[in-house]
Every structure is written in C-alpha cells, then in structure tokens.
C-alpha cells in the first residue's frame, strides 16, 4: 500500500510546520503550498490523495479554489477538507457547499489530525 500524499494549502507558516510535522510523524507524505496558485502547480506535477485547505488564503480564497478543483474533471475526485479557525455558524455548511468533504477546526488537535485525515481518505476510497 502506498503512503498517502497530502497537499496542505495553508498560508500561515506556523500552521504549515505543525500540520506537516504531525502528518509526517504519522506516515503521510506532505507537500505545502501557501496560495492556490502554488497548489495548482503542485497538483500539476503530482496528484494528491487528499487536500487540506485553509479557507483564508491570499489571492484566491480556499472556498473559490475548492469550487474550481471540483469543477475540473481532472481534480474533482480529490477529497478536499477545509481547515479554518472560522468556526461560526454556517462556515461548515459553506465549506460543504463548495465541495469540501469535511471540516477540521483550527487550531488543529495534534492527537486527532492524522485520524481525521485517514477517515476522510477512507470515505473517498
């Protein structure tokens, strides 16, 4: 079985480092992008098994980027999981409406993150 490849789209360097460290520790391959444009380039070179998407990105925001990914037949089947500190009423519904498979609130829980990713990968397969 191959090691799952996670694309983390996150503009906050501290969140990038923490999320990457947790996922690497638990056996995932991780590549980080700070913007939707960087993520697009990475997706073009290697298809991720799952995308963890910050919703507040510079330039194109995470919801718009998710909608674009879901509209493209080449990327529509990649599960996208929203990761955001915005946990207001309606935020989860907006993420799901944009095409996200689910929602992980920030700050991330380092004890449960890998299990959450594994669960979303299992739903996608």
Question: What is the distance between the alpha carbons of residues 86 and 44, in angstroms, rounded to a whole number?
Answer: 29
pLDDT digits (tens, 9 = 90+) for 10-44: 999 999 999 999 999 999 999 999 999 999 999 99
Cβ atoms of residues 107 and 100 within 8 Å: no
Question: Domain segments of the chain: what residues?
Answer: 5-124
Q: How far is CA 37 from the centre of its chain?
A: 14
Residue % of the chain over a pLDDT of 70: 94
Give the percent of the chain with pLDDT over 90.
Answer: 82
Q: What is the CATH number of domain 5-124?
A: 3.40.50.2300
Return the ∠ at Cα 76 (arms to 40 and 6), rounded to 5°.
55
Phi, psi of 14 (to 5 degrees): -65, -45
Q: What is the pLDDT of residue 93?
A: 85
């Amino acid at each position: 079985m191959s090691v799952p490849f996670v694309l983390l789209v996150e503009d906050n360097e501290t969140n990038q480092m923490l999320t990457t460290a947790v996922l690497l520790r638990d056996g995932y391959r991780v590549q980080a992008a700070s913007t939707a444009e960087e993520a697009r380039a990475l997706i073009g070179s290697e298809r991720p098994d799952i995308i963890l998407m910050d919703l507040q990105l510079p330039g194109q925001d995470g919801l718009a980027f998710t909608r674009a990914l879901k509209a493209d037949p080449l990327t529509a089947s990649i599960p996208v999981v929203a990761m955001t500190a915005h946990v207001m009423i309606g935020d989860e519904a907006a993420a799901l409406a944009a095409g996200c498979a689910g929602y992980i609130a920030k700050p991330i829980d380092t004890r449960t993150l890998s299990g959450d990713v594994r669960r979303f990968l299992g739903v996608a397969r």
